[in-house]
């Protein structure tokens, strides 16, 4: 178990393409860090540089305090689970899991190997499959064999490269909790790469968001959700994604397509002399005004809107409200949409209402939101003008405390079970 | 697929029989000839009037023995050695081509292809001279080296296709698990490539075994003469008798092992050739 430190890691390919442009990241011992981002953002490349399958063009990589840039994968004592498992098809499950132990000639006796493999198999519930070959296993079982091979070695850290992307949705959910449980139990440093923001939010102690080889923000899931540092992070985290509206700054009022929002002094100061901004509002921050009690109603902003399409999901009601966008920001929003793998066919507001709401397709509804939850972004740089650094620090501190506490609890449970 | 109608089945059966007869008639003719007495060769019948083993006796123990047995020994030895060397070299070469990126990669593959389509007959004469000058004429090594030019290209192409199909992640996983490159190759890749290597060895062996031009041009005595070349030198009992019977017997003896091997491993051979064609 060790801490992993990346300092200004750069990866340049032979043809001059910069896959990773100076990423610095500190991963504490026992921490579960997720690297997330759209395809082509460099997260897999970063992971492979950590494990040693790719050369680092410049920068320093340290594991457990030692610089390991030039070490071969076998000397770094890391364990990796590949996206397509990379199980040895000619070996049984038992031999697959025992493979890393057998490579260290003479380090273990046959009995020790059997003990370790059976322990790993028990952790992952593979005891009944030890004599079968990978070709006869289901996807989830193969996934667990790959994890077994990783945990049997007591490596310094675990590296996962999109391990759940080949599984169906239901299995994915089950395996997610398995991985979380396993990491808590073993307390090993873990680096996990995924493009799925749900996995990122639910599994990670901290999440690092990457875009085109650059680190956008690294914070706890809560920190990313409540205080995104720029447009990209705000749009990436959260499902359904954040709504972006063009905002015109006029005397004391922020003009949005469907409603005018009064500007507070703090907001006026942050906006400076900008005339045009992008305003972000999460779908879950809207409410059906008819269901909001009067007191709350007065604290927020109400507006009328024509609802185009609704989707009732049982727990929520999604309503789609089209609006006209300002051509000056249209280009910026389109580019953002492309980066977030969206199809962006029309400009519309997505609103998540209570499932009790009576709003239906074609209705003229009255909607409510709290302007304090609004985020304002600079249209050129994409920076979050309403970013509160202190709040982030507080969230991260709380997060760190929670993580340590839950690790201790997990260790205590293990000790109690063992004795 | 719809079940074939009876008419269609009969049609296919007729065509199959026709193709079989067309393809196998010469072969059965030779087999039949090998059982005929030398005096009855020109009788014009297909099957022998008297079935006899005398031709086989001749080539193994009689007058043909000094020509045939050494030739058989030469063929087996030279073909096996050429195959072994070609397979070992081709395995290493194909692994490098499939896994690594180095300048000249494409050049190696195209050169291998070029070498294999180059007409053998055009280099035989200069090779004859060269071998005579450096003393390789009429030796096993003098044949093994040209045979490599026949077996290496096809081995490289077939094995490259095989190695390309083995996912790279397997070696990477082995390396992360603690293996050196050599261990990763030996423990993770070789067991998976074994069928490919075996098939390639078979194909290479056939090519070396069947060669005639090199065999007859680069040898003069039974020290190194392989069987296809030796067949041309059989003589009959007298200058009026054609040794056709003995030649047929020799041909049968030489073809049997090849036929048996092909029948036993036909599936592997076909998949080996088609995999090479599809993946490329």
**For residue B177, what is the nearest residue in chain A, using CA coordinates?**
A100
Distance in angstroms (rounded) separating the CA atoms of residues A196 and A38: 9
Encode pLDDT of B171-183 as tens digits.
Answer: 888 888 888 888 8
What pLDDT is attached to residue B280?
33
Phi, psi of A188 (to 5 degrees): -90, 145
Question: If contacts are CB pairs under 8 Å, which of residues 322-351 in chain A contact chain B?
Answer: none
Encode pLDDT of A272-312 as tens digits.
Answer: 888 888 889 999 998 888 887 777 777 788 888 889 899 99
Evaluate whether residue A117 is within a structural domain: yes
Tokens of A39: 């395809």
Residue A6, Cβ density class (10 Å: 0-12 exposed, 13-18 middle, ≥19 buried): buried
**For residue A155, what is the nearest residue in chain B, using CA coordinates?**
B177
CA–CA distances in Å: residue A118 to residues A63, A131, B82 = 29, 12, 48
What pLDDT is attached to residue B14?
94
Closest by CA to A289, choosing from A386, A201, A209, A357, is: A357
Is there a single domain that holds both residue A169 and residue A243?
A: no
Distance in angstroms (rounded) separating the CA atoms of residues A120 and B174: 18
Helix (H) or strand (E) segment spanning residue B6: helix B6-34
Q: How many CA atoms lie within 13 A of A84 on its CB side?
A: 8
Encode pLDDT of A356-390 as tens digits.
Answer: 888 888 888 888 888 888 899 888 888 888 888 88
Secondary structure string (H, E, C) spanning chain A: CCCEEEEEEEEECCCCCEEEEEEEEEECCCCEEEEECCCCCCHHHHHHHHHCCCCCCEEEEEECCEECCCCCHHHCCEEEECCCCCCCCCCCHHHHHHHHHHHCCCCCCHHHHHHHHHHHHHHCCCHHHCCCCHHHCCHHHHHHHHHHHHHCCCCCEEEEECCCCCCCHHHHHHHHHHHHHHHHHHCCEEEEEECCHHHHHHHCCEEEEEECCEEEEEECHHHHHHCCCEHHHHHHCCCCCCEEEEEEEECCEEECCCCEEECCHHHHHHHCCCCEEEEEECHHHEEEHHHCCHHHHHHCEEEEEECCEEEECCCEEEEEEECCCCHHHHHHHHHHHHHCCCCCCCCEEEEEEECCCCCCCCCEEEEEECHHHCEEECCCCCEECCCCHHHHHHHHHHHHHHHHHHHHHHHHHHHHHHC
B277 pLDDT higher than 60: no
B219 pLDDT higher than 60: yes
Helix (H) or strand (E) segment spanning residue B92: helix B65-99
Task: Give the residue carrying structure tokens 């609802």.
Answer: A307
Encode pLDDT of A111-161 as tens digits.
Answer: 989 998 998 888 888 889 999 988 888 888 888 899 889 888 888 899 999
Q: How confident is the model at residue B79 (pLDDT cuts 50, 70, 90)?
A: very high
Cis peptide before A240, with omega less than 30 degrees from 0?
yes
3-state secondary structure at position B233: helix
- Mean pLDDT (chain B, rounded): 84
Q: Residue A133 CB: number of other CB atoms within 10 A?
A: 16
Which residues are CB-contacts of B26 (< 8 A; sequence separation ≥ 6)?
A: none
Is there a single domain that holds both residue A187 and residue A258?
A: no
What pLDDT is attached to residue B279?
38
Instruction: Check CB contact of A27 with chain B, cutoff 8 Å.
Output: no
Closest by CA to A122, choosing from A101, A102, A144, is: A144
Contacts of A72 in chain B (CB under 8 A): 175, 180
Q: Residue B190 CB: number of other CB atoms within 10 A?
A: 14
B23 pLDDT higher than 70: yes
Tokens of B111: 């050169």
Is there a single domain that holds both residue A49 and residue A190?
A: yes
| Partner residue opposite A99 with nearest CB, options B172, B177, B191 | B177
Bridge partners for A5 per DSSP: A26, A62
Give the CATH number, domain containing residue A117. 3.40.50.300
Bridge partners for A132 per DSSP: none
Distance in angstroms (rounded) separating the CA atoms of residues A140 and A166: 9
Is there a single domain that holds both residue A266 and residue A321?
A: yes
B65-233 classified as CATH 3.40.470.10: no
CA–CA distances in Å: residue A218 to residues A24, A41, A209, A285, B204 = 10, 15, 6, 24, 58
The region, left, alpha or beta by phi > 0 then psi within -120 to 50, assigned to residue A382 is: left
**For residue B186, what is the nearest residue in chain A, using CA coordinates?**
A103
A191 pLDDT higher than 90: yes
Distance in angstroms (rounded) separating the CA atoms of residues B216 and B220: 8
Question: If contacts are CB pairs under 8 Å, which of residues 100-139 in chain A contact chain B?
Answer: 100, 103-104
Evaluate whether residue A332 is within a structural domain: yes
A345 pLDDT higher than 60: no
Evaluate whether residue A405 is within a structural domain: no
Across the interface, whether the CB atoms of A103 and B177 are under 8 A apart is answered yes
Q: Are A181 and A409 in contact (CB under 8 A)?
A: no
Contacts of B176 in chain A (CB under 8 A): 51-53, 73-74, 78-80
Task: Please give the distance of CA A390 from its chain centroid, rounded to a whole number.
Answer: 22
Evaluate whether residue A202 is within a structural domain: yes
Across the interface, whether the CB atoms of B177 and A100 are under 8 A apart is answered yes
Which residues are CB-contacts of A385 (< 8 A; sequence separation ≥ 6)?
A: A270, A271, A277, A376, A377, A378
Distance in angstroms (rounded) separating the CA atoms of residues B147 and A4: 56
Given A226, A256, A289, the domain boundary residue is A226
Distance in angstroms (rounded) separating the CA atoms of residues B233 and B212: 13
Residue A3, Cβ density class (10 Å: 0-12 exposed, 13-18 middle, ≥19 buried): middle
Encode pLDDT of A208-235 as tens digits.
Answer: 999 899 999 999 999 999 999 988 899 8
What mean pLDDT comes out for the span B73-82?
91
Given A226, A257, A272, the domain boundary residue is A226
- Mean pLDDT (chain A, rounded): 86
Closest by CA to B33, choosing from B226, B243, B241, is: B243
Instruction: Compute the nearest-CA separation of B175 from chain A (Å).
Output: 6
What pLDDT is attached to residue B133?
92
Is there a single domain that holds both residue A200 and residue A245?
A: no
Distance in angstroms (rounded) separating the CA atoms of residues A193 and A34: 6
Q: How many CB pairs under 8 A join A and B?
A: 55
What pLDDT is attached to residue B101?
82
Is there a single domain that holds both residue A43 and residue A177?
A: yes
Helix (H) or strand (E) segment spanning residue B267: helix B244-279
Across the interface, whether the CB atoms of B176 and A103 are under 8 A apart is answered no
Chain B: residues touching A (Cβ < 8 Å): 167, 169-170, 172-180, 183, 187-188, 191-192
Instruction: Compute the nearest-CA separation of A87 from chain B (Å).
Output: 7
Contacts of B170 in chain A (CB under 8 A): 86, 88
Enclosing domain of residue A102: 4-226
What pLDDT is attached to residue A102?
87
Instruction: Check CB contact of A259 with chain B, cutoff 8 Å.
Output: no
| Domain locations in chain B as residue ranges | 65-233
Contacts of B167 in chain A (CB under 8 A): 84, 86
Contacts of B191 in chain A (CB under 8 A): 90
Distance in angstroms (rounded) separating the CA atoms of residues B41 and B244: 8
Q: Residue A101 CB: number of other CB atoms within 10 A?
A: 19
Total domains in chain A come to: 2
DSSP single-letter state for residue B119: -
* Residues counted in chain B: 280
Is there a single domain that holds both residue A107 and residue A159?
A: yes
Is there a single domain that holds both residue A34 and residue A65?
A: yes
CA–CA distances in Å: residue B78 to residues A156, B135, B139, B145, B218 = 54, 17, 10, 10, 13
What mean pLDDT comes out for the span A73-85?
89
Evaluate whether residue A24 is within a structural domain: yes
Evaluate whether residue A234 is within a structural domain: no
């Amino acid at each position: 178990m060790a801490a992993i430190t990346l300092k200004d890691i750069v990866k340049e390919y032979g043809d001059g393409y910069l896959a990773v442009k100076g990423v610095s990241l500190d991963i504490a011992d026992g921490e579960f860090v997720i690297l997330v981002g759209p395809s082509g953002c460099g997260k897999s490349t970063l992971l492979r540089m950590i494990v040693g399958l790719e050369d680092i063009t410049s920068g320093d990589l340290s594991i457990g305090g030692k610089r390991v840039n030039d070490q071969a994968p076998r000397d770094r004592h890391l364990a990796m689970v590949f996206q397509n498992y990379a199980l040895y098809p000619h070996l049984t499950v038992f031999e697959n899991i025992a493979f890393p132990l057998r490579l260290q000639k003479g380090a273990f006796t046959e009995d020790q190997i059997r003990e370790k493999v059976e322990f790993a198999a028990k952790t992952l519930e593979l005891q009944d499959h030890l004599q079968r070959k990978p070709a006869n296993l289901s996807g989830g079982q193969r996934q667990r064999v790959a994890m077994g091979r990783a945990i049997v070695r007591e490596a310094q850290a675990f590296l996962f490269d999109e391990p759940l992307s080949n599984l169906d949705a239901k299995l994915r959910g089950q395996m997610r909790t398995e991985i979380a449980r396993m990491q808590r139990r073993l307390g090993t440093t873990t680096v996990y790469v995924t493009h799925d923001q749900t996995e990122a939010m639910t599994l990670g102690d901290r999440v690092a968001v990457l875009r085109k080889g650059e680190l956008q923000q690294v914070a706890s899931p809560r920190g990313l959700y409540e205080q995104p540092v720029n447009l990209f992070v705000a749009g990436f985290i959260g499902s359904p994604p954040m709504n972006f509206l063009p905002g015109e700054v006029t005397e004391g009022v922020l003009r949005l397509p469907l409603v005018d929002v009064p500007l507070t002094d703090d907001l006026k100061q942050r906006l400076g002399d900008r005339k045009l901004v992008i305003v972000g509002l999460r779908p879950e921050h809207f409410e059906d005004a008819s269901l909001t009690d009067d007191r709350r109603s007065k604290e927020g902003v109400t507006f009328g809107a024509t609802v185009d399409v609704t989707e009732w999901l049982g727990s929520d009601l999604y309503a789609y409200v089209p609006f006209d966008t300002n051509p000056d920001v249209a280009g910026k929003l389109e580019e953002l949409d492309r980066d977030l793998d969206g199809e962006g066919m029309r400009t519309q507001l997505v609103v998540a209402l209570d499932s009790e709401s009576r709003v239906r397709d074609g209705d003229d509804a009255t909607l409510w939101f709290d302007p304090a939850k609004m985020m304002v972004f600079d249209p050129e740089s994409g920076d979050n003008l309403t970013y509160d650094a202190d709040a982030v620090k507080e969230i991260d501190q709380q997060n760190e405390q929670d993580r340590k506490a839950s690790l201790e609890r997990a260790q205590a449970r293990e000790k109690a079970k063992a004795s | 697929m719809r079940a074939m109608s009876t008419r269609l089945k009969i049609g296919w059966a007729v065509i199959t029989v026709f193709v079989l007869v067309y393809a196998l008639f010469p072969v059965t003719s030779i087999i039949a000839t090998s059982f005929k007495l030398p005096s009855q060769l020109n009788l014009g019948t297909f099957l022998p009037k008297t079935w006899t083993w005398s031709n086989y006796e001749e080539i193994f123990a009689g007058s043909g023995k000094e020509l045939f047995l050494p030739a058989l020994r030469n063929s087996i030895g030279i073909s096996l050695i050429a195959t072994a060397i070609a397979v070992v070299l081709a395995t290493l070469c194909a692994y490098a081509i499939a896994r690594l990126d180095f300048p000249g990669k494409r050049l190696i593959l195209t050169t291998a292809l070029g070498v294999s389509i180059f007409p053998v007959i055009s280099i035989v004469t200069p090779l004859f001279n060269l071998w005579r000058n450096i003393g390789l004429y009429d030796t096993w090594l003098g044949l093994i080296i040209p045979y490599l030019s026949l077996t290496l290209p096809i081995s490289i192409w077939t094995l490259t296709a095989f190695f390309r199909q083995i996912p790279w992640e397997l070696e990477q996983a082995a390396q992360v698990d603690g293996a050196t490159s050599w261990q990763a190759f030996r423990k993770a890749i070789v067991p998976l490539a074994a069928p490919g290597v075996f098939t390639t060895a078979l194909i290479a062996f056939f090519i070396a075994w069947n060669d005639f031009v090199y065999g007859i041009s680069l040898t003069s005595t039974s020290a190194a003469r392989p069987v296809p070349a030796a067949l041309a030198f059989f003589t009959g009992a007298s200058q009026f008798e054609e040794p056709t019977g003995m030649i047929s017997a020799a041909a049968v003896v030489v073809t049997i092992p090849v036929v048996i091997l092909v029948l036993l491993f036909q599936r592997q051979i076909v998949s080996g050739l088609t995999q090479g064609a599809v993946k490329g």
